């Protein structure tokens, strides 16, 4: 995003606003792109899917970057698709990852030196070893951070850990009861 001039940022904003987001679970707006550096996993997954389309409209983005985003989009599609993987699909994934890393080297991107880029090389083996990628995503647990932060805002700050645990425990008890749960007599302490 740093290589974009102001004109292209405006083009990107318009492109994001007029884009048909109905087939996506979420939507990215031009305002959300202002916080690009603080995206979390679900935002990056969405951005990777639509980035090639939007960036192709911008004049200051070199074609190599758009090609890299196309490859990354294909990697995301292969990694996050539902269902079991065939050995041919994993071989295709390895090939696309190699092409992506070659493209990053070609365009001289700083991403090539990042550890997360290196981790891409291990994704096919991790899928073979551990199963589908949805089984080892941390995003669901990260969503709890927002809930915990919200609870901590309403504590008296004298004992925030204890206050947070007690408040979350009460919420879980209430959720249990509202969902139709009940305790057996010997479970009551």
> What pLDDT, on a 0 to 100 scale, did the predictor assign at position 129?
85
Q: What is the pLDDT of residue 18?
A: 85
Instruction: Answer for the pair 164, 148: CB distance below 8 angstroms, yes or no.
Output: yes
Cα–Cα distances in angstroms (integers) from residue 73 to residues 66, 81, 97, 170, in the given order: 10, 12, 11, 43
H or E element: which one contains 128?
helix 123-130
Predicted confidence (pLDDT) at residue 19 exceeds the cutoff of 70: yes
More confident position, 143 or 76: 76
Percent of the chain beyond pLDDT 70? 87
**Mean pLDDT value across residues 95-106:** 93
The per-residue pLDDT for 83 is 77
Distance CA 91, CA 98 (A): 11
- Residue 48: band (very low, low, confident or very high) from pLDDT cuts 50, 70, 90: confident
Range 27-56 average pLDDT: 77
The pLDDT confidence band at residue 1, using thresholds 50, 70 and 90, is low
151 exposure class (CB count in 10 Å sphere: 0-12, 13-18, 19+):
middle
User: Nearest 5 degrees, angle CA 98-CA 99-CA 103?
Assistant: 120
Give pLDDT, residue 98. Answer: 95
CA angle in degrees (0–180, nearest 5) for 138-141-147? 150
Q: Give the predicted TM-score (pTM) of the model.
A: 0.67
Token pair recorded at residue 76 = 């995301």
Is 17's pLDDT higher than 60? yes
């Amino acid at each position: 995003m740093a290589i974009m001039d102001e004109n292209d940022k405006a083009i990107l904003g318009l492109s994001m606003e007029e884009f048909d987001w109905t087939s996506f679970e979420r939507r990215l707006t031009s305002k959300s792109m202002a916080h690009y550096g603080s995206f979390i996993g679900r935002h990056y997954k969405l951005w990777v899917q639509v980035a090639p389309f939007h960036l192709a409209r911008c004049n200051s983005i070199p074609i190599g970057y758009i090609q890299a985003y196309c490859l990354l989009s294909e990697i995301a599609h292969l990694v996050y698709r539902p269902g079991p993987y065939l050995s041919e699909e994993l071989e295709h994934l390895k090939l696309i990852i190699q092409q992506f890393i070659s493209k990053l080297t070609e365009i001289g991107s700083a991403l090539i030196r990042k550890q997360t880029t290196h981790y891409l090389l291990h994704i096919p083996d991790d899928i073979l070893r551990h199963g589908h990628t949805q089984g080892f995503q941390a995003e669901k647990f990260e969503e709890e951070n927002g809930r915990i932060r919200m609870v901590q805002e309403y504590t008296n700050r004298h004992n925030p850990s204890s206050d947070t645990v007690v408040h979350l425990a009460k919420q879980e008890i209430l959720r249990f009861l509202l969902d139709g749960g009940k305790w057996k007599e010997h479970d009551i302490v």
